[in-house]
Amino acid sequence: MAPLPPSNTERWKYTYQNSVAEHSVTFRLLDGSNTSQADSIMNAVMTYFDDLVHESTITSLEFADEGSDVFNLVTDSDLVGTSFGVGASNPTSNAVGATFIGRSSDGRRSRFTIFSWFGGHSDYRVTTTEDANLGILIDFLNAVSTPNVSISGGGIVFKPYIDIKANDHWVDEARG
């Protein structure tokens, strides 16, 4: 499968800050999606992670048009300034992310990660059978009315689990 440029679709990038570091999460949405649609996806994600990650505050939302490598500030998001999670982060939990993985019908892999995870896990994966709330979120992300797309623009079907693991970059940062 030939690689596609990162600018192949519209992108919505939320930046959030915990007590250790700034992170961002980017969603690819159908062309013509609006801030309200992007906010509804991020709000659902924040709601799920509210007691599983350390406190983080959304500091900005940026948007990049299809074909553009430039992200521009979006000023009409209702989520900027909103916090989710509990307690102060530390370098150890800051490095740990929960990753959603999906595929489009043309086989393109898609994923996004939320950092500062401190929720439990027994085998570095949480499934929808272990956590009913995760099932609700996955169903929402997979709904036809939710405009998530892959880099090719095809709709995504997310796997019924999230993978939990430390990110090498943030581990190196924690080690100094």
DSSP label of 52: T
Higher pLDDT, 44 or 176: 44
How far is residue 55's CA from residue 33's CA, in Å, rounded to a whole number?
28
- pLDDT surpasses 80 at 108: yes
pLDDT at 121 over 80: no
Which residues face 64 on adjacent strands? 11
Give tens-digit pLDDT for 43-79: 999 999 999 999 999 999 999 999 999 999 999 999 9
Burial class (CB in 10 A: 0-12, 13-18, 19+), 57: middle
DSSP one-letter string for 101-131: EEEETT--EEEEEEE-B-S--SSSEEETTT-
Q: What residue segments make up the domains of the chain, in order of their start?
A: 10-175
Q: How does the average pLDDT of the chain come out, rounded?
A: 95
Beta-bridge partners for 62: 13, 73
Give, as one character, the DSSP assignment of residue 95: T
| Token output for 156 | 């995504």
pLDDT tens column, 142-172:
998 899 999 999 999 999 999 999 999 999 9
- Mean pLDDT score, 23-46: 97
